[in-house]
Amino acid sequence: MYPKDHKKYRVMLEELTNRPQRHKGYKSRTYAIRIGEMNIGITKAFITHSQWIRRPYNQKTTPYTEEGRELYLKQTNKNLPLNRPPLYDIEELEQCKEEKLNFEFYMNREYAYNRDGGKCKTCGEKLVESNRHCHWIKENEPLNKINKVANLAWFCKRCDGYIHREEIPEGIDNSKIKKIQKYRSKLELKI
Q: For 75-117, what is each residue's pLDDT tens digit?
A: 777 776 666 666 555 565 566 667 787 878 888 888 899 899 8
The maximal CA–CA distance of the chain, rounded, in angstroms, is 87
Percent pLDDT > 90 in the chain is 11
Question: Domain 90-187 carries which CATH code?
Answer: 3.40.1800
Contact between 150 and 115 (Cβ < 8 Å) = no
**Pick from 159, 148, 173: nearest CA to 126:** 159
**Pick from 36, 30, 2, 1: nearest CA to 16:** 30
Phi and psi dihedrals of 135, rounded to 5?
-120, 140
Residue 124's pLDDT is what? 92
Reported pTM:
0.51
**Pick from 134, 140, 126, 84: nearest CA to 104:** 134
Reduced to 3 states (helix: H, G, I; strand: E, B; else coil), residue 92 is helix
Residue 4's pLDDT is what? 67
Contact between 109 and 134 (Cβ < 8 Å) = yes
**151 has a pLDDT exceeding 80:** yes
| Angstrom distances, CA of residue 110 to CA of 30, 134, 149 | 50, 9, 9
**Helices 174-187 and 157-164, axial angle in degrees (round to 10):** 60
Instruction: Give the model confidence (pLDDT) of 25-79 as tens digits.
Output: 888 888 888 888 888 887 655 434 455 556 666 778 877 888 888 888 887 777 7
Q: Exposed, middle or buried: residue 162 (CB in 10 Å: 0-12, 13-18, 19+)?
A: buried
Beta bridge partner(s), residue 41: 32
Q: Which of 22-26, 52-56, 143-147 has the lowest mean pLDDT?
A: 52-56
Contact between 94 and 121 (Cβ < 8 Å) = no
Mean model confidence pLDDT for the chain: 79
Task: Name the segment(s) of the chain with CATH classification 3.40.1800.
Answer: 90-187
Residue 149 banded pLDDT, cuts 50, 70, 90: very high
CA 62 to chain centre: 17
